[in-house]
Structures are given as C-alpha cells and as structure tokens.
Amino acid sequence: MDENILSIGIKIELVKPKSRIEDDSNKNVTYVSQIIDMEGDLITCAMPIYEGHLIPLETGTEFESYFYTKKGIFKGRCKVTSRGKEGNIYICQLLLMTELKKFQRRQFFRLPCTLDVQITPLREIEMLAYIKNHAMPETLTNPTENGIVVDLSGGGMRIISNEKYEKGVFIALDFILNVQGIPLKMQLLGQVIQSFKSETNELRYDQSVQFREISRDVQDEIIKYIFEEQRKLRRKEQR
C-alpha cells in the first residue's frame, strides 16, 4: 500500500451493489467510514453508518472503495478480513486487494434526510436568466408547491411532492441548510432526471433532481452540511 497516498483520518466510501432481491431499484449501497490505522495492505476503519444505523460488515465481503485524500480521490477494491471493537468504537479491517488508481468522481455521497423545499417549475426564459445572472429572477410565473427532500448530495436531491414533473423540466429549489449553526438559504436551479409514483403514497411523486449551474462555493457548503450531519449520526451511535 502506498502510504504516501493514504493517511489516518481520511474518509472512505465503501460501495456494494444491491441485488434485485434486496432492492428493486438495483442501486448501489454506499457506506461511509474513516481510516483509524494502517499496516501494510491492511486498513483498520470505523464500522460504517448507513441511514442512521451502525452496519456490522460481514467478514469476506468485497467493496469498491473510494479514498478521499489530499491528492484527490483514489479507487481500489477491498475485502473485509475481520471486525471487532476497540474501546467504544466498533471497527473492521480491510485488505486492499488492488492497486490504488486516481478516480475522477462524478457522483456524490447521498445523505438521507428530511428537509422542506419549495419547488417552482421554470419557463425557459427564467431558466436562461438564472444561467446568465447566477441568480433566480425575483418573480416566477408558475405556482410554487411545498415538497420534502429525502436525500441530498453535492450533485442533486431526491424530493417527494404532490405534483409530477416531467423528465428534463427545470425547477427552482428553495430550501435552508443549517451549516455549523448558521442557516443558509439555498435557491438553486435543478433539472428533473426521473419521476415516478411514491412507493409509500400513490398520491405523491418521488423525483430525482440534478443541480445545474451550481457554484463551487455553494456545492462546498452542501457537502459541508452533509459531512456535519454524518458526524452527528456517528456520535449518536457511539453513545
């Protein structure tokens, strides 16, 4: 293992494909952890948390692993070789099975959450005005509805709403994030990627939205919020 790349304290994402038996959507499951020790090709990390619950990884399970280092994101394949507990921390040991390779990540970790959001479908002229001015027009033509954000990432969000928005439609998204105790008002441009009836309520719609024309500073604030919420969940699990 190249110890010039990895270091204690860096974030790891462990990605395990879901089977169709586990999830009809067949999406990947992503667990987040942190390196707490290294020796040769063995990495000791904290047992990950997923949707607020500690996940006891099974010995022998293999993952595609993404390491968030000072030199960028690196990808490798790991296998869980053992698990245990040190003090109050549940840990697992990973064997790095492949050489680390630099990875240009297009996706972001998604945080399950419950946030209020106001959604307004945009006319083309309003969407173009946002792109030109990097700000939403003061008044919008279409009515606004209230929705719920059920997961959030630096690249987009999943929302539950009463209205169905067709794939490709641009929408204004207004919501508030509390970052380090400071409420930040977000007003972003989103584009609907997918829309279908909610599994839990046939009268509502589950919609995947991708952020468009988002600044690096705003994206960094969203990612900071996500990491902060992850830390809160981890502290609750360790109590």
The domain containing residue 62 runs over which residues? 11-102
Rounded Cα gap, residues 53 and 236, in angstroms: 10
- Mean pLDDT for back-to-back runs of 10 residues, the chain (239 residues): 79 70 49 89 88 85 88 88 90 93 68 95 95 91 96 93 93 93 93 87 90 88 88 74
CATH of the domain at 159: 2.40.10.220
Name the amino acid, one letter, at 76.
G
Co-location of 135 and 184 in the same domain: yes
The beta strands (E) that lie in 89-218 are given as 89-96, 101-102, 111-121, 145-152, 156-161, 170-179, 182-197, 205-212
Number of structural domains found in the chain? 2
* Domain contains 238: no
Q: Report the distance separating Cα 136 and Cα 138, nearest Å.
A: 6
pLDDT digit string, tens, across residues 136-181? 999 999 999 999 999 999 889 999 999 999 999 999 999 999 988 8
Length of the chain: 239
Give the model's pLDDT for residue 116: 97
The DSSP element (H or E) to which 210 belongs, if any, is: strand 205-212
Give residue for tokens 């699990």: 237
What is the structure's pLDDT at 87? Answer: 86
What are the φ/ψ torsions at residue 178 (nearest 5 degrees)?
-95, 105
Q: Is residue 3 situated within a structural domain?
A: no
Co-location of 81 and 156 in the same domain: no
| 61 shares its domain with 17 | yes
Q: In this structure, are residues 27 and 18 in contact, taking their beta carbons and an 8 Å threshold?
A: yes
In 3D, which of 91, 58, 204 has the Cα closest to residue 145? 204
Same domain, 182 and 220: yes
Indicate whether 4 belongs to any domain: no
Query: Is the whole model's pTM more than 0.85, yes or no?
Result: no
Pairing assessment for the beta strands 89-96 and 101-102 based on DSSP bridges: unpaired
Burial of 159 (0-12, 13-18, 19+ CB in 10 A): buried
Which of 186, 126, 190, 183 has the alpha carbon at shortest distance from 161?
Answer: 190
Instruction: Give the mean pLDDT of the chain.
Output: 86
Looking at the fold, whether 80 and 175 belong to one and the same domain comes out as no
CA 69/CA 7 separation, integer angstroms:
8
**pLDDT of res. 239:** 65
User: What's the CATH code of the domain at 86?
Assistant: 2.30.110.10
CB 51 within 8 A of CB 30: no
Asked if residue 141 belongs to a domain, the reply is yes
